Structure 1
Amino acid sequence: MLVLLPPSEGKANSGAGVPLKLESLSLPGLTAAREAVLTELVELCAGDEEKAREVLGLSEGLRGEVAKNAGLPAAGARPAGEIYTGVLYDALGLATLDTAAKRRAARSLLVFSGLWGAVRVTDRIPSYRCSMGVKLPGLGALGAHWRAPMAEVLPEAARAGLVLDLRSAAYAAAWKPKGEVAGRTATVRVLHAPTRKVVSHFNKATKGRMVRALLTAGAAPKDPAELVAVLRDLGYVVEAEAPRKAGTAWSLDVLVEEIH
């Protein structure tokens, strides 16, 4: 099982660890694309601060993120699972998983990123600010920048198992499973059952708890149909829509009664 996650806007501080080594990150086929984004981002943020803030869409209160980006090559690096914070990652609680569940997380979780493309939770990265919606002056829209290298690398990472896609729309734009991989991909929405509307906060929290439950249970569904059965066994109310044509992902709605 490969679980595709969005990153978090908020991130923990890098700390004083060993600086980033691009060549040490998982999915080495993305190294050249990562280096291109990193080089331009650092150059942008080391130059005109106001321009950098505008390009990155940062408010006045986040001005300090520009300087943080400028210092990325020398910044300490920590496991991505410690860097990413926020509602989904708080609910996932990687640090409190048992040993076996942590091993499963290291194998199966893939976090998408405007800067790194995608990383595993064990990959060591510094704290940064660069969403997938950013358009860098030289490279252009990052979603488009990542499509070609992702199309080369991600099918291999998906292997022959289930792909559980929990990404938000901006990050889903960087890689869309196609063909045979799409047929074993399940995308998930979390809906407030009484209103059947998506509410951002509990949508993220529910996805985090759901991934935690799958990891803790040692679940290994091989396809979307098995995933539906596993989630129902774990107590989730799931409505599933099988694709009407080949090469299309399954759509799953997880219904939640209470917003918390």
Structure 2
Amino acid sequence: MLVLLPPSEGKADSGRGAPLKPESLSLPGLAEARAAVLDALVELCAGAAGDGEKAREVLGLSEGLRGEVARNAGLRTAGARPAGDIYTGVLYDALGLGSLDPAARRRAGRSLLVFSGLWGAVRVTDRIPSYRCSMGVRLPGVGALGAHWRAAMASVLPEAAGDGLVLDLRSSAYAAAWKPTGAVAERTASVRVLHAPTRKVVSHFNKATKGRIVRSLLADGAAPKDPAELVTALRDLGYVVEAEAPGRKGRGWSLDVLVEQVH
């Protein structure tokens, strides 16, 4: 099973550990595309004149996040930590990687893939520095990051997915970087979380529930091989799931997980 996750906007401090080693990151087929984004981002932020207004504008950062420009400028020498420690926020708090038992953490290292505007995609065990660069950014010299990543992802991600289930929990901006096709698409399940009484997506609880779903699967040791088995596994774990199988070949499954309370 391969689980596709969005990153978090907020990130933990990367501390004073050893700096990034780009060659150590998973999915080495993304190395050239990563280098292009890293070079452009560091150049933009390190070369920002005065107060860094240009970099802030390009990155879509508020006044309160001005310090992120300097952080990006120092990416090559900043300390690095496992991506699972760097990403924070609602989904990752609910996932609680640090409190999983050792077997579940090993499963997380094998199955979780976090999409990123800077790195393309990384495993939670990959050591990265804290950064700020969303998939919606258009970097000078690189262009729109979603489009930049699509070509590299098209050749790398199908191999990473193998012949197993792909559980897609990404937000739309990150889903634009890679869309499963063909046989991989048929083994892909995309999930929405709906407030049952209103049938509406509630952003905060959507993220929290997705984090809990992943934690439940990892902790249980569930290993569904396709979307139909995933539906069964989630129902066995106590989730209320409505599933829509694809109407034609080359399409993925759509799953709605219904929740009663929004908290």
TM > 0.5 fold call = yes
Aligned position for 2:225: 222
What amino acid does structure 2 have at the position aligned with 1:202? Answer: F
Q: 1:210 aligns with which of 206, 210, 213?
A: 213
Q: Which residue of 83, 89, 96 corresponds with 2:86?
A: 83
Which segments of 5 or more consecutive residues in structure 1 lack a partner in the other structure? none
Q: Secondary structure at the match of 1:156?
A: helix
- Counterpart check, 1:238 vs 2:226: no
Distance 2:241 2:174 in 1: 24
Equivalent residue of 1:232, what SS? helix
Which residue matches 2:56? 53
> 1:172: which partner in 2?
175
The number of equivalent residue pairs is 260
1:47 is displaced (CA, Å) by 1.5
Matches of 1:109 and 1:139, distance apart in 2: 27
Secondary structure, counterpart of 1:112 in structure 2: strand
Q: Indicate the residue corresponding to 1:250 in structure 2.
A: 253
- Note the C-alpha offset of 1:138: 1.1
Shift of 1:215: 0.2
Cα shift at 1:137? 1.5
TM-score normalized with structure 2 length: 0.99
| Aligned partner of residue 251 in structure 1, secondary structure | strand
Task: Determine the C-alpha separation between the residues in 1 that align with 2:136 and 2:248.
Answer: 30
The yes-or-no answer on 1:137 pairing with 2:120 is no
TM score, norm. by length of structure 1: 1.00
CA shift for structure 1 position 218: 0.2
SS at match of 2:201: coil
Mapping of residues 78-157 of structure 1, within 5 Å: 78-157=81-160
Give CA deviations for 1:171-216 in whole Å, capped at 9, x if unaligned: 0000000000000000000000000000100000000000000000
- Letter aligned with residue 16 of structure 2: A
Measure, in 2, the Cα distance between the counterparts of 1:214 and 1:156.
Answer: 23
Percent identical residues: 83
Pairs within 5 Å for 1:67-78? 67-78=70-81
Provide the rounded CA distance (Å) in 1 between the counterparts of 2:235 and 2:93.
23
Structure 2 gap segments, 5+ residues each: none
Shift in Å at residue 151 of structure 1? 0.4
Code of the residue aligned with 1:99 in structure 2: it is P
SS in 2 for 1:74: coil
2:32 matched residue in structure 1 = 32
Please give the alpha-carbon distance, in whole angstroms, between the structure 1 residues aligned to 2:86 and 2:140: 27
